Amino acid sequence: MNPALVLKAGREKSLRRHHPWIFSGAVERIEGEAASGDTLTVRSADGKPLALAAWSPKSQIRARVWSFDPGAKIDAAFFRTRIAEAAALRRTLEIDRHSNALRLVHGESDGLPGLVVDRYGDVLVAQFLSAGAERWREEILDALREASACEAIYERSDAEVRALEGFGPRTGFARGNQNARRCAVIEYGMNFRVDVERGQKTGFFLDQRENRQRVRELAAGREVLDCFCYTGGFAIAALSGGAHGVIAVDSSGAALEVARENLAANALEPDAIEFVEADVFAHLRALRDRRAQFGLVVLDPPKFAPTAAQARNAARAYKDINLLALKLLAPGGLLATFSCSGGVPMDLFQSIVAGAALDAGVQAKIIERFAAAADHPVALDFPEGEYLKGLLVLRP
């Protein structure tokens, strides 16, 4: 029999709505012996079994639900089934018509809390970010290999959130061919190299795939500024969409090196993108002082507010860059502005951009909204899964 996690009286409501997180404040007691990652039967205060969850003794999220069927069995077959379901969902999306890269497993929204898996061609990159995912690592790796027939699995369990679960970082090949370090990705006919060892996160930002495509469609004939360009995703999309010229800014020299390789890997004018290694906050000011003007500006900053508690400082940072970017827009110019902060919901983000426009003295309109690509689904029971949002703003 599993050890049990007994909830405090009245704290079963979110579980009944199938929210997968159990916070420390909701836990009355543990019955039996439970080690990190062990499967617990979650019970209401009056003893009703509600779910099976993985024990995370170090984390404020004390347990994450594997199944809302308390009679289920959490074993290798369970992970094979969940991973097969995640793969089946991606097949129905037919992403492979446009790309050989996709997010195969998106954590809680695929019923696999703490597990993120991206596929780059024949290579999978996996992140084990919770005590439960860590406990079942071998079974999960076997199931991934089986479901995807991939050549190799590279582990990038070096995200900061692992520390909250009490684990140090772990990276390296977990399965298969040890030479698959640089993966060639094709996205809507554009070529990108993904450095799975040293790239940020798992190496590439797949969540922006469709938004890069939209920017590509909008870029024809425009001077483009791509802020926080990383390995050149938006910049290369804009250029291949017919942009006149692109300035692409990032503070990471390593990312810009890959960005230059990416540009060279496409049949595009090699001098049409000027890569600038700089802090975006400072560089936007420099461009303003030079009275530079752009027909399209992309702002895709890193997560300024991972949680709602950090939203205040993040709001200042978002407002600052959006204000500067709006001032750089020529009449008829477009701003594609994003936030991937879970702690900043769309309504807050929109009001930050509105404040920035007001202070910039720019009249602007929202003409479209952006979200993460469909291979980053949001389980309706787990609104936290919706983290990437964006606005397309027109300066008339």
- Please state the length of the chain: 396
- Told to check if 280 binds ligand SAH by CB under 6 A, we report yes
What are the phi and psi torsion angles at 222 (to 5°)? -105, 155
Decide if 330 contacts 364 (C-beta within 8 A): no
Q: Least distance in Å: CB of 241 to ligand SAH?
A: 14
Q: Least distance in Å: CB of 226 to ligand SAH?
A: 7
Closer to ligand SAH by Cβ: residue 89 or 317: 317
DSSP 111-145: T-TTEEEEEETTEEEEEE-SHHHHHTHHHHHHHHH
Cα separation, 344 vs 350, whole angstroms? 10
Among 79, 234, 304, 370, binds ligand SAH (CB under 6 A): 234
Q: Least distance in Å: CB of 106 to ligand SAH?
A: 17
Among 67, 148, 251, 266, binds ligand SAH (CB under 6 A): 251
Among 205, 304, 349, 387, binds ligand SAH (CB under 6 A): 205
What is the longest distance spanned by two Cα atoms in the chain? Answer: 70
Q: Least distance in Å: CB of 46 to ligand SAH?
A: 48
Binding mask 162-201 for ligand SAH (x = CB under 6 A): --------------------------------------x-
- Told to check if 233 binds ligand SAH by CB under 6 A, we report yes
Burial class from Cβ neighbours inside 10 Å (0-12, 13-18, 19+) for residue 350 reads: middle
Cα separation, 346 vs 351, whole angstroms? 9
Closer to ligand SAH by Cβ: residue 146 or 279: 279
Q: Least distance in Å: CB of 374 to ligand SAH?
A: 17
132-163 burial string, b = 16+ CB within 10 Å, else e?
A: bbbbbbebbbbbbbebbebbbbbbbbeeeebe
Decide if 46 contacts 6 (C-beta within 8 A): no
Q: Least distance in Å: CB of 195 to ligand SAH?
A: 12
Q: Least distance in Å: CB of 229 to ligand SAH?
A: 6
Among 230, 294, 304, 318, binds ligand SAH (CB under 6 A): 230
The one segment of 47-55, 216-224, 228-236, 370-378 that binds ligand SAH by CB under 6 A: 228-236
- Told to check if 118 binds ligand SAH by CB under 6 A, we report no
- Told to check if 274 binds ligand SAH by CB under 6 A, we report no
Closer to ligand SAH by Cβ: residue 147 or 259: 259
Cα separation, 337 vs 304, whole angstroms? 14
Can you read off the two tokens belonging to residue 57? 């003794």
Binding mask 294-333 for ligand SAH (x = CB under 6 A): ------xxx-------------------------------
Among 250, 296, 319, 364, binds ligand SAH (CB under 6 A): 250
Cα separation, 144 vs 86, whole angstroms? 10
C-alpha distances out from residue 381 to 173, 287, 326, Å: 34, 44, 36
227 among known catalytic residues: no
Closer to ligand SAH by Cβ: residue 78 or 304: 304
Torsion of CA 39, 56, 372, 232, to 10 degrees: -120
Which residue number places its CB atom closest to ligand SAH? 233
Can you read off the two tokens belonging to residue 16? 């009944």
Residues lying near ligand SAH in the complex (CB under 6 A) are found at 200, 205, 208, 228-231, 233-234, 250-252, 255, 279-281, 300-302
Q: Enumerate the active-site residues.
A: 340
